[in-house]
Amino acid sequence: MTKVIGVASDHGGYNLKQKVIDHLKDKGYQINDLGTYGLESVDYPDFAVKLADSIKEGEASLGILVCGTGIGISLSANKVPGIRAALCHDTFSAEMARRHNNANVLAMGERVIGSGLALKVVDTFLESEFDGGRHEKRVNKILEIEKKHKNF
């Protein structure tokens, strides 16, 4: 496996982020850890944008974001054109996010999901592929929305 996976969190997602990193390293993934690097209070938008930019620059093929709920960090990442961050706390949503929406970022909430399930969600997200076909048209419509509203 040579996929580079970007991983980032705020302080509320730091512990789960560390478990995700260890899990992915054990599975042979190369990890780009974009912080935070401790439990000191930080602002989740800063780390969401670091991860989103790393995907846009080709430094990572997919990303994983974690904050307390996953909501704020996913909202922030989705402000970056070309990023499709999906907040998932179950394996079905993680699979469909990749297969139907071509999501390139998985977001989770450390205060919402247990670490065992979180690792299964991560595996499902990373092992699923975009189906294309009829879903391609819909993803392209998302891209058109971004273009139309880029100066909002």
CA separation for the pair 52, 105 (Å, rounded) = 8
Four-way CATH pick for 4-148: 3.40.50.150, 3.40.30.10, 3.40.1400.10, 3.40.640.10: 3.40.1400.10
What's residue 152's pLDDT? 61
Active site residue 100: yes
Instruction: Please tell me the distance from the alpha carbon of residue 89 to that of residue 107, in angstroms, as a whole number.
Output: 9
Binding site annotation covers 82?
no
138 labeled binding residue: yes
Question: What distance in Å separates the CA atoms of residue 105 and residue 97, rounded to the nearest whole number?
Answer: 9
What tokens does 72 get?
A: 């704020």
Q: Is 145 annotated as a binding residue?
A: no
Question: Is 149 part of the annotated catalytic residue set?
Answer: no
DSSP-assigned letters across all residues of 105-141 = EEEEETTTS-HHHHHHHHHHHHH-----THHHHHHHH
Tens digit of pLDDT for each residue in 70-100? 999 999 999 999 999 999 999 999 999 999 9
Of 67, 88, 135, 149, the active-site residue reads 67
- Flag residues of the chain having pLDDT under 70: 1-2, 151-152
Residue 99 marked in a binding site: no
* H runs (alpha helix) in 1-152: 14-26, 44-56, 71-77, 91-99, 115-127, 134-148
* pLDDT for position 147: 87
Looking at residue 2, its pLDDT comes to: 56
Query: Where along the chain do its domains lie?
Result: 4-148
Selecting among 88, 100, 135, 149, the annotated active-site residue is 100
| pLDDT recorded at residue 9 | 98
Neighbour count for residue 127 (Cβ, 10 Å): 11
Q: To 10 degrees, the CA torsion angle through 51, 45, 79, 20?
A: 40
Q: Give the pLDDT of residue 150.
A: 78
Tell me what pLDDT residue 1 has.
46
pLDDT of 148: 87
